[in-house]
Chain A
Amino acid sequence: MTGARYIADPEECVQSVALDGLSVLFHRPSGMTHIVAPPAPQILEALRMGPADAGEILARMRAWYDLEGDEAADAIEARLEELEAAGLVSRP
């Protein structure tokens, strides 16, 4: 299945500080602060390699991490929708 493709802002648009396992992000284009939990920061990192759909993102993340969890693609889709609503990713 190929879902919607997404893009993320370049790295310099997001300032990040790690606080006990969570990331606090300052998103410069919006001036908004988001507190994000894994796997959201990892999805953003994977998207910085270029536009991708959930399946491609999963493949990129598998190269870096041992992934745990069933219905991985669904979980990634759900995270992408959240990140899209927050304005951290968009459709090209």
Chain B
Amino acid sequence: MKHSLSLQIGPVAFRIGSTWAAPLDALARLYAGYPEPDRICDFTVRLEPESPWRRWVRPSVAIHGDYVLPDAAPMSLAHGLLAAEMGMNLQMALGQKHYLLLHAASVEKGGRALILTGESGAGKSTLAALLGERGWRLMGDEFALLDLDDGRLRAFPRAVSLKNGAIRVMEREVAAERFGPRLDGTPKGSIRHLRPNPRALEAMAEPARPALILFPRFGEATAVRPVGQAEVFMRLTQASTNYVSLGGAGFDALTKLVDACPSAAMDYPDTDSAVELVETLWEQAA
């Protein structure tokens, strides 16, 4: 392909090829300071025109690669950075067979990991980003990788993708140089990427033992409620893109995780009370 770039994010290396220079230039700026990628990449992502003439006329970026979804619609070239991010997500969601992939944010403290998972809009991404600036190590805002052999969590600290209101929350917290360009009018509203801090990048190869699972929910009065183990198990299978395809190895890893980790559902009205609540629950779990 005309332009290419490799990225190392936690244990996963990506090779990204593009017909246009712009998406990869933006990606290189956003991922400045990440470690040198492995020469052998886990996944190939391709950003290319849907058809040959669409390279020039109303250019639109189709997201292709080792694994593809048939119905995926192309995106505007102006949102090429987002397309690259989505291309990497897609490879993970469809092709990751090495780790149990949980759609969850995770942060670490003292070698132990907190897993935050929940439905879309629950605010786990923002919460993890915020914790990452307030004494925790950000392991990832979107995917948590559970090692099938030793049950530890591996970090996958890609750029945090902030949406709409969350953008302002983090702009108050973090220096401007760590942000990508603001992308308005994407199919999911406004998006701005945030590079994790140096501590998260330096420690990205360090795994952590899962110690607490929380199911946060934004927009409700503060409340904590226990979640039964069977429900935690069920929810985590639904949060995993590869649980079923891992077979017995996935079953072993997930039942062990649920058995070993306390868990709770937490409702929160705003991010500051969420941080406070997380600290309290973390102390109780310790």
Does B251 lie within 8 Å of A22, measured CB to CB? no
Closest beta carbon of chain B to A19's beta carbon, Å: 4
Does A35 lie within 8 Å of B248, measured CB to CB? no
Does B247 lie within 8 Å of A31, measured CB to CB? yes
Does B234 lie within 8 Å of A35, measured CB to CB? yes
Cβ of B260 under 8 Å from chain A: no
Interface residue tally on B, bucketed by range: 10 to 19
Interface residue tally on A, bucketed by range: 10 to 19
Cβ of B230 under 8 Å from chain A: yes
Does A35 lie within 8 Å of B251, measured CB to CB? no
Nearest CB to that of B248 among chain A residues?
Answer: A26
Nearest CB to that of B234 among chain A residues?
Answer: A35
Does B233 lie within 8 Å of A32, measured CB to CB? no
Nearest CB to that of B250 among chain A residues?
Answer: A33
Does B255 lie within 8 Å of A17, measured CB to CB? yes
In the bound complex, what is the Cα–Cα distance between A68 and B248 (angstroms)?
A: 35
Closest beta carbon of chain A to B34's beta carbon, Å: 36
- List the A side residues contacting B251 at CB < 8 Å: 15, 24, 26, 33
Q: Contacts A17-B255, A19-B258, A33-B237: A24 and B230 contacting too (C-beta < 8 A)?
A: yes
Chain B, interface SS category = helix
Q: Mark A21-51, 1 if CB is under 8 A from B, else 0.
A: 1101010100111010000000000000000
Closest beta carbon of chain B to A4's beta carbon, Å: 29
Nearest CB to that of A31 among chain B residues?
Answer: B247
Does B237 lie within 8 Å of A20, measured CB to CB? no
Q: Mark B250-286, 1 if CB is under 8 A from A, else 0.
A: 0100010011000000000000000000000000000
Given contacts A19-B230, A31-B248, 5 further A-B contacts (CB under 8 A): A19-B228, A19-B259, A26-B251, A32-B244, A33-B243
* A-B contact list, 20 entries, CB within 8 Å: A15-B248, A15-B251, A17-B259, A19-B229, A19-B230, A19-B233, A19-B255, A19-B259, A20-B228, A21-B230, A24-B230, A24-B251, A26-B248, A26-B251, A31-B244, A31-B248, A32-B244, A33-B237, A33-B243, A35-B233
